[in-house]
Amino acid sequence: MLNISPNNRNGIDEQQFVSYQNVNKESSNLKLKRTLYIIGAIILIIMLLPWTQNIRSNGKITTLRPEQRPQTINSIIAGRIETWFVKDGDFVKKGDTIVIISEVKDGYFDPKLVDRTQNQIKNKELSVISYEQKVIALDQRIDALIESSKLKLQQAKIKYRQARLKITADSIEFQAAEINYDIAKDQYHRFEKLYERDLKSQTEVETRRMAMQRAQASMISAQQKLLQSRNDLIDAKVEVQSTEAKYRDEIAKAESDKMSAMTNMYDAEVDVTKLQSQAAGYSIRSGNYLILAPQDGYVTKILSSGIGETIKAGQELATIMPLNYDLAVEMYIRPMDYPLVRKGQHVRMQFDGWPAIVFSGWPNNSYGTYGGTVFAIDNFTSENGMFRVLIAPDKQDHPWPKALRVGGGVNSMLLLQDVAIGYELWRNINGFPPDFYVEKDSKEIKSSIKK
């Protein structure tokens, strides 16, 4: 280095500067070293201090059970608003009337609609009774036809048997007449031969001829009777079959009339059931003109306030906050942190509006925070791409403030494993997730050691 400056170091008296003398002392070097060692030791001790890993997330206050959450009061039917009985902030009990609506559909304008439907039901029930009596009468007619058919068939069969017996008698009579004719014929021929020999007279021959003719006439008459008897047998058989067919047709017709009457009776019963359902629907619909409070609570907001305003079926009329509810906290975590969360895990929370001093790594030293436990974890992501976690109050910790309300904001910390501060800094620098650990039972540890 060129010594061209007029104020060079050689012209300075170093002994006149006290600070320069203090720096050049050996004791000052020792103090600096000691200070650095002490600072390093303090930093090392701090790095070895325990730090509770946690997952921080913002959430809101909700309730554990769905029926305890703010709900809307809807109109089941379409109508027109007639009278309001509440206003914003009013306390209502279960069953109190919120609003009265009137009918807007022309099919329900009749004020005596239910009574007229009941009259229709009575008439249809009388129709059912009439058909029942008709069925009973047809059953009696069928029974009478069956009994009559049995008697008629028995009578026809008796006639058939009589005809068969008559045929037998006429057949025997015809055979006897044939024998008599043959005998008379033989006698006539013998008398003729004797007459030719002059042993018999002409009168005796003519007498035998007349006897032969009478026997022939008797034979023909007996044959005629036999044929008539056979014809009567055929007529008796036809009568038996016609009687069976006649009563079969009459019984079938009666059965058909009975089935028709039963069909009409069942149709009338169906109509009765439909009318009863309609009457019940009309009665229930008339009861829906009064919009009632579903449970005890406070009316928070009137959504449809105009008198005479027409509303649709299912339209929201007002919102109500239940009187009694169990608070919970709803928070969302990243998918990367989802495997680290389990039911029963401890959580520290800071509620909006309550001052708190929070040490995320030392939750026990935090002031103004409240304890909770993981109550439920969703198995699917929400619309924001994160998993919802429901947190219930920790019964072993001090209770949550009574002034909390549903919808308030919360800053939550899910507590994980205790690690050293140095490890936590190294993890955050490298972007690693928190440690995942699961406490195992002693039996599981022993079985793993044996394996």
Whether 20 shows a pLDDT value over 70: the answer reads: no
pLDDT at 449: 37
Token pair 């109508």 in the structure block, residue: 79
> Distance (Å, rounded) from C-alpha 367 to C-alpha 362?
11
pLDDT in tens, 333-350: 888 778 778 888 888 888
Whether 358 shows a pLDDT value over 80: the answer reads: no
pLDDT-derived band at 417, boundaries 50, 70, 90: low
**The pTM of the whole model exceeds 0.85:** no
Q: Do 208 and 262 lie in a common domain?
A: yes
In a domain, 108, yes or no: no
Q: Do 274 and 350 lie in a common domain?
A: no
Q: Do 308 and 370 lie in a common domain?
A: no
Q: Provide, rounded to the nearest whole percent, the portion of the chain with pLDDT above 90.
A: 9
Mean pLDDT of the 395-424 span: 78
pLDDT-derived band at 99, boundaries 50, 70, 90: very high
In a domain, 283, yes or no: yes
> Distance (Å, rounded) from C-alpha 252 to C-alpha 250?
5
pLDDT at 91: 92
Q: Do 343 and 407 lie in a common domain?
A: yes
In a domain, 415, yes or no: yes
Q: Do 310 and 338 lie in a common domain?
A: no
Whether 3 shows a pLDDT value over 60: the answer reads: no
pLDDT at 443: 45
> What is each CA distance from 1 to 4, 7, 8, 10, 109, in whole angstroms?
9, 14, 12, 14, 113
In a domain, 198, yes or no: yes
Structure-block tokens of residue 168: 């037998």
Whether 213 shows a pLDDT value over 70: the answer reads: yes
Which of 264, 287, 310 is the endpoint of a domain? 287
Mean pLDDT of the 417-442 span: 63
Residue 155: give the domain boundaries.
113-287
Q: Do 279 and 137 lie in a common domain?
A: yes
Q: Do 233 and 348 lie in a common domain?
A: no
Work out the number of other CB atoms within 10 angstroms of the CB of residue 236.
20
pLDDT-derived band at 93, boundaries 50, 70, 90: very high
pLDDT at 92: 92
Whether 1 shows a pLDDT value over 50: the answer reads: no
Q: Do 333 and 269 lie in a common domain?
A: no
Instruction: Give the CATH number of the domain where residue 236 resides.
Output: 1.10.287.620
Which of 301, 320, 339 is the endpoint of a domain? 320
Q: What is the DSSP letter of 397?
A: S
Q: Do 168 and 31 lie in a common domain?
A: no
Coil, strand or helix at 312: coil
- Tally of domains in the chain: 4
Whether 278 shows a pLDDT value over 70: the answer reads: yes
In a domain, 422, yes or no: yes
Whether 47 shows a pLDDT value over 80: the answer reads: no
Q: Do 229 and 194 lie in a common domain?
A: yes
In a domain, 239, yes or no: yes
Dump the DSSP string for 158-205.
Answer: HHHHHHHHHHHHHHHHHHHHHHHHHHHHHHHHHHHHHHHTTSS-HHHH
Q: Do 379 and 252 lie in a common domain?
A: no
Write out the H or E segment, with its range, that includes residue 392.
Answer: strand 387-393
Whether 31 shows a pLDDT value over 80: the answer reads: no
Structure-block tokens of residue 81: 């608003």
pLDDT-derived band at 446, boundaries 50, 70, 90: very low
In a domain, 39, yes or no: yes
Angle at 203 between CA 199 and CA 205, to 5 degrees: 65
Mean pLDDT of the 226-253 span: 88
Q: Provide, rounded to the nearest whole percent, the portion of the chain with pLDDT above 70.
A: 83
pLDDT at 259: 92
Sign of CA dihedral 361, 367, 373, 376: negative
Coil, strand or helix at 306: coil
In a domain, 81, yes or no: yes
Whether 315 shows a pLDDT value over 50: the answer reads: yes
Q: Do 265 and 117 lie in a common domain?
A: yes
Residue 55 has phi, psi (to 5 degrees) of -115, 115
Work out the number of other CB atoms within 10 angstroms of the CB of residue 149.
17
Whether 11 shows a pLDDT value over 70: the answer reads: no
Instruction: Give the CATH number of the domain where residue 385 resides.
Output: 2.40.30.170
